[in-house]
Chains A and B, each alone.
Chain A
Amino acid sequence: MESLTFRHTTEKPLGGTAPSAITGVVASGNLEILLERVLPPDACEVAIETPIAGYGPVWEAVVADFVARAQPGGLRISINDGGARPDTVSLRLLQGARLMEA
Chain B
Amino acid sequence: MAAPLAAGTDPRALSWYEATARQRVAALADPGTFHEFLPPTERRMSPHLPLFDLPRAFDDGIVVGRARLDGKPVLVAAQEGRFMGGAFGEVHGAKLIGLLRAARDLRPAAVLILFDTGGVRLQEANAGETAIAEAMRAIAELRAAGVPVIGLIGGRAGAYGGGGLIAGTCSRLAVSEGGRISVSGPEVIETNRGAEEFDSRDRALVWRTMGGKHRRLIGGADAFAADTVAAFRAAALDLIGRAPAFDLATLEAEQARLEARIARFGDCRDATEIWARMGVNDPDAVPAMTTASFDETVARVAEAHHDAR
Question: A: which residues have CB within 8 A of B?
Answer: 1, 18, 20-23, 25-27, 30, 32, 34, 36, 49-51, 78, 80-82, 95, 98-99, 102
Contacts and interface: CB of A to CB of B under 8 A. Distances in A.
A1 B53 contact: yes
A80 B39 CA distance: 15
Interface residues of B, number: 21
B47 to A, nearest CB: 14
B56 interface: yes
Interface in B114-148: none
B80 A25 contact: yes
B1 interface: yes
A21 B58 CA distance: 12
A30 B83 CA distance: 10
Interface of B: 1-4, 20, 22, 39-41, 43, 50, 53-58, 80, 82-84
B58 A25 contact: no
16 contacts: A1-B55, A20-B1, A22-B2, A22-B22, A23-B4, A26-B55, A26-B84, A32-B40, A36-B41, A51-B53, A51-B54, A80-B55, A80-B57, A80-B58, A82-B55, A98-B4
Nearest to A27: B82
B285 to A, nearest CB: 35
Given A22-B40, A32-B57, A51-B55, A1 B50 contact: yes
Contacts of B2: 18, 20-22, 99, 102
Contacts of B3: 22-23
Pairs of residues from A and B, 10 with the lowest C-beta to C-beta distance, nearest first: A27-B82, A21-B2, A26-B57, A25-B82, A23-B4, A99-B2, A22-B40, A26-B83, A34-B40, A80-B55
